[in-house]
Amino acid sequence: MSRDFLLDLNKCTGCAACRLACEIENRLESGDSWRQVLTFNERRHPAAPLYHLSLACNHCGSAPCADACPAQTIKRDEVTGAVLIEEKGCIGCRYCSWACPYEAPRFSEAHGVMTKCTFCAHRLAEGREPACVSLCPTGALGTTPAVDGRGASVVPGFHADGHEPRIRFVPLRRGFRAPEMTSGLADPGIAAEPARRAPGAGRRISLRGEWPLVGFTLAASGLVGWVAAAMQCGISVSATVFPALAAGAMAASAAHLGQAGRSWRAVLNLRRSWLSREVVLYGLFVLVSLVWLRGTPGLQFAGWAAVAAGVALLFAVDRVYDVAGKEMSAHLHSAGALWMSLYLASVLSGSAAAVAVVGAAKCGLYLARKGRMRKRGRRWRPALSAARVALGLLVPAASIVIWAEAAWAAALGLAVVGEALDRIEYYLELRIETPRAWMEAALPADDSRHDLGVHWVRSNHEP
């Protein structure tokens, strides 16, 4: 019978025994616990309560990690309802960790695969509670029979997001308020200070870990753009450089896997995973392009087929990122794969009109995005933006309009640099959903205690 985790916010003191219990039971290294204990209102703002969320895998009804897994190695255990990673089949691509908003799947550096909470399925099978539950010294963490159609109760800092997470909360008895304090609000100036800490900690997708993916996306966009430009205006495609680039990009992204030897498994989840589709479409695009390259000039059809496969590939590439960057679809991002490819094709074709039109559209998307970020108080990097627009968009356009053929190579080089910068920014700006980020967002950013109160009253009254 399926069970849900049940966390009583009144009883939890944030002691972290559950984290240790998990490490001990599952023989994990210190600090690699599958459970985390997050603190709401760490700076103890008097306008907000202080409480803790002890979170591991929520074994969601929708299990977005399982949908995302290209190797189809995340499955639900029929007996316990636990969502389990079969480590033998894991290729270590980390994509499940992008899809999970609860930070449950963790990459094991030691084994090159993803690991996560198993709901202690081995203990459940023996009729015992999970270790974290058994070893909670205050009885705050428990399990309760799952009720169909009943999602997690709402607590500020925790989003169910339609994933049907199998965790429920016993809300604070006092409501979402701090205790009355005899000197807590003595100074109104202090209450006006923001309760939030500087954000930034705990991102699952970091640029440092993902350089091969930046390279792969750029290469894929460039290669598709190259074939498209060739079909459109007859520029030549090198029969040595093209396959070399295609193989290099593939190799780089395979090397980035924790288990490169199992990389073939990346195509197993075509039914649900955009990553599987991306991999297959990449293969298809490269294969058809090679047929076209080797074929007689009469094989125009193959060239257009390659372009079609390429466009489908780039569409898939953009969809891959949708699981992480919920704030903005990659299709509408100036560094989306389709947009990058279209722009590079324009530059490659040397058509001043195409460069001007596509460049202007991209420039518009770019500036609009930066404007939004600035308005929301996010870091928008004006110097980098200026460089990106000037070098990557204005100079190539100007040089093609003014000098045409003569400056083509330089224009192409600058355009590639500009796209690379934009793509790097795309990673830096990805807003990753994490419970920590939700908790920060639910805290007063300034003296907005009234707004906060309204928000909590609402949350508190939801079923």
Partner 1 sequence: MTVYTTACPRNCYSTCTMRVQVQDGRIRSIEAHPANLAAGESVCLKGLSYIERTTSKNRLLYPLRRKADGSGFDRVSWAEALRVIASRLEALKTAHGPQSVLYYTGSGTKGLLNSVGMSFWRLYGGCTTTYGDLCWPAGLEATRLTLGANEHNAPWDLANARLIILWGKNSAETNVHQMVFVQQALERGARLVVVDPRRTETAEKAELLVQPRPGTDGALALGIAHQLIATDRVDRAFVERHVLGYPEFRDMVRGFPPEKAAEITDVPARYIERLAQMIGTIRPLTICAGFGMQRYSNSGQTMRALIALTALTGNIGIAGGGWQFANLQSAVFDEVKDPLAFYPPAEPDGVIRVAVSTARLGRDMLATRNPPLKMAWVERGNPVTQNPETHTVLEAFRSLEFRVVVDQFLTDTAQEADIVLPAKTFFEQSDVIGAYWHPYIQFKQKILEPPGEVKPESEIYRGLAAQLGMPAEQIEEAFPGPSEAEVEAWLERKLRSSPEISLDRLRQGPLLPPGAQEVAFEDFVFPTPSGKIELLSLEAARRWGADPLPVYGEPVESVRSGDLATGRYQLYFMTPNTKNRIHSQFGNLEMIGAVSEPGPRLQINPKDARARGIADGDPVRVFNGRGSMQAEASWDFSLKPGCVAITNGWWISEGGTVNFLSLGRETDMGHGAAFHENLVEVEKASE
**Interacting residue ranges for partner 1, rule: CB under 8 A:** 10-11, 13-17, 19-21, 23-25, 30-31, 33, 37, 43-46, 49-51, 134-139, 173-174, 178-184, 186-187, 189-191, 193, 195, 197-198
- 106-108 and 113-115: which strand pairing? antiparallel
Strand runs labelled E in 12-140 = 36-40, 51-55, 74-76, 83-85, 106-108, 113-115
Smallest separation (angstroms) from partner 1 to the CB of 414: 40
Nearest residue to 248 via CA among 226, 220, 221: 220
Cβ distance to partner 1 smaller for residue 21 or 68: 21
Smallest separation (angstroms) from partner 1 to the CB of 142: 11
- Give the amino acid at 9: L
Cβ distance to partner 1 smaller for residue 171 or 184: 184
CA 152 to chain centre: 23
- What DSSP line would sit under 252-301, residue for residue? HHHHTSTTGGGGGGGGTTTTT-HHHHHHHHHHHHHHHHHHHHHS-TTTHH
Cβ distance to partner 1 smaller for residue 45 or 256: 45
Smallest separation (angstroms) from partner 1 to the CB of 435: 17
Cβ distance to partner 1 smaller for residue 156 or 165: 156
Smallest separation (angstroms) from partner 1 to the CB of 65: 24
- What DSSP line would sit under 319-337, residue for residue? HHGGGT-TTS-GGGSTTSH
Smallest separation (angstroms) from partner 1 to the CB of 144: 17
Cβ distance to partner 1 smaller for residue 49 or 61: 49
Cβ distance to partner 1 smaller for residue 18 or 344: 18
Nearest residue to 265 via CA among 69, 104, 84: 69
Provide CB contacts within 8 A for 281, sequence distance 6+. Answer: 309, 312, 313, 316
Nearest residue to 246 via CA among 209, 276, 285: 285
Cβ distance to partner 1 smaller for residue 31 or 297: 31
Nearest residue to 426 via CA among 343, 286, 270, 322: 322
Cβ distance to partner 1 smaller for residue 138 or 238: 138
What is the dihedral sign for C-alpha 361, 367, 371, 374? Answer: positive
Nearest residue to 130 via CA among 254, 204, 34: 34
Smallest separation (angstroms) from partner 1 to the CB of 193: 5
Strand runs labelled E in 74-154 = 74-76, 83-85, 106-108, 113-115, 141-145
Smallest separation (angstroms) from partner 1 to the CB of 186: 6
Smallest separation (angstroms) from partner 1 to the CB of 11: 5
Smallest separation (angstroms) from partner 1 to the CB of 146: 24
Alpha-carbon gap, residue 168 to 103, rounded angstroms: 17
How far is CA 434 from each of CA 159, 261, 390, 454, rounded to the nearest angstrom?
A: 9, 31, 35, 23
Cβ distance to partner 1 smaller for residue 222 or 444: 444
Cβ distance to partner 1 smaller for residue 353 or 445: 445
Smallest separation (angstroms) from partner 1 to the CB of 23: 7
Report which secondary-structure segment, H or E, holds 188. Answer: helix 188-191
Cβ distance to partner 1 smaller for residue 13 or 351: 13
Smallest separation (angstroms) from partner 1 to the CB of 22: 10
- 3-8 and 141-145: which strand pairing? antiparallel
- Give the amino acid at 72: Q
